[in-house]
Structure 1
Amino acid sequence: MTVDQGPVPIRRLRSPRTGWTALVVVAGLVVCGGLLYDAVAVRTGHRARPWRAETAHRLATLHLDDPVVLISAGVAVLIGALLLGLAVAPGMRRWLPLRQPGAVIDRSGVAALLARRADRLDGVSSLKVKVRRARTTVTMAGTADPAEVQRELRAELARVPLAGEHRLDVRTGKVRR
């Protein structure tokens, strides 16, 4: 005899870029926090930290062809390229979590599965399937009974072991692609 453990807790999917983004944000906060602390200290009448005074003096006397300036510019370009790469890296929004921890399925795969099942039904001339995180919307055109189509698609969707509650809405109307 098996005992149902209840609903599986859904863990939000995290993109591999999340760790790098957190690292860049923490580093930026540390650097900006140090600079802000020193700027506030100078504004309140205290002396500037020796590193700040030395940095200001060096920046005022350095030339653009100095190796320190060139290396600093190269590091700034690398950090900018890293941030740009993190910004355009694919996230995890196209994946839906499954009941088994760590397992995912592509939303377009679920949409193709439902579309293939609906194409086998009599009276469905065209349809559009839109799969979101907690809801799938099917817009169909044809003479098929929407309630029958919904029953068939719900049975097909039940075969996919999605981790959370997933709603299925079947609508009739013009299908816009």
Structure 2
Amino acid sequence: MTVDQAPVRARRLRTARTGWTGLVVVAALVVGGGLLYDAVAVRTGHRARPWRAETADRLATVHLDDPVVQISAGAAVLIGALLLGLAVAPGMRRWLPLRQPGAVIDRAGVAALLTRRARQLDGVSWVKIKVRRARTRVTVAGPADPAEVQRELRTELARVPLAGEHRLDVRTGRARR
């Protein structure tokens, strides 16, 4: 990083599902809060709200083969499937933000770039790289000088315009068999 390139405070990446999650949480709080208020009111000796009494009477008389019940159950299943799909969908954790707003790079790409450079160095027989959000941990094995490896990898990492500070830790280890 040169002197004229000050580190940019990188905002955490958010997925498109964040808005949907907020909407579901607000809806659940409103509905749950209303039900809780009415349940507490009934337990403290007050009468149930008219909407609750009407709903209880209607549910006591409606049959399972009623189209309204079937449509409501189908809608509940679809909403549940949508929420389940959003819950297991991959998020944005594998991406690192770049200096240019909205630009990102895959962590595996940064790891591959550093791995390729480390294997080009003399004396490196084995390398393992773990790229995280604010730190990259490199473990090398072989007779290579760790300070030289760190210098070369820091130069290579500086070519990637990452937003914010990014630490590079180089460690020595034993080669896997």
Aligned to 1:16: 16
Distance 1:142 1:160, change over 3 A: same
The 1-side partners of 2:137 and 2:156 are apart by 14
TM-score, normalized by length of structure 2?
Answer: 0.93
- Structure 1 segment 17-166 matched on structure 2, within 5 A: 17-166=17-166
The alpha-carbon deviation at position 176 of structure 1 amounts to 5.6
The alpha-carbon deviation at position 47 of structure 1 amounts to 1.2
The 1-side partners of 2:20 and 2:134 are apart by 28
TM-score, normalized by length of structure 1?
Answer: 0.93
- Which blocks of at least 5 consecutive residues in structure 1 are unaligned? none
The alpha-carbon deviation at position 5 of structure 1 amounts to 7.7
Give the 4+ runs in structure 1 shifted more than 2 A.
3-7, 174-177
- Which blocks of at least 5 consecutive residues in structure 2 are unaligned? none
Deviations along 1:70-94, whole A, 9 cap, x unmatched? Answer: 1111111011111101101110100
User: Percent identity of the aligned residues?
Assistant: 86
Contact kept, 8 Å, 1:17 with 1:89, in 2: the verdict is: no
- Work out the number of aligned pairs and report it: 175
Aligned-residue CA RMSD (Å)? 1.7
Q: Which amino acid aligns with 1:174?
A: R
Structure 1 residue matching 2:160: 3-state secondary structure: coil
The alpha-carbon deviation at position 9 of structure 1 amounts to 2.2
The alpha-carbon deviation at position 23 of structure 1 amounts to 0.9
The 1-side partners of 2:101 and 2:165 are apart by 16
Deviations along 1:22-63, whole A, 9 cap, x unmatched? Answer: 111111111111111111111122211111001111111221
Q: Which amino acid aligns with 1:118?
A: A
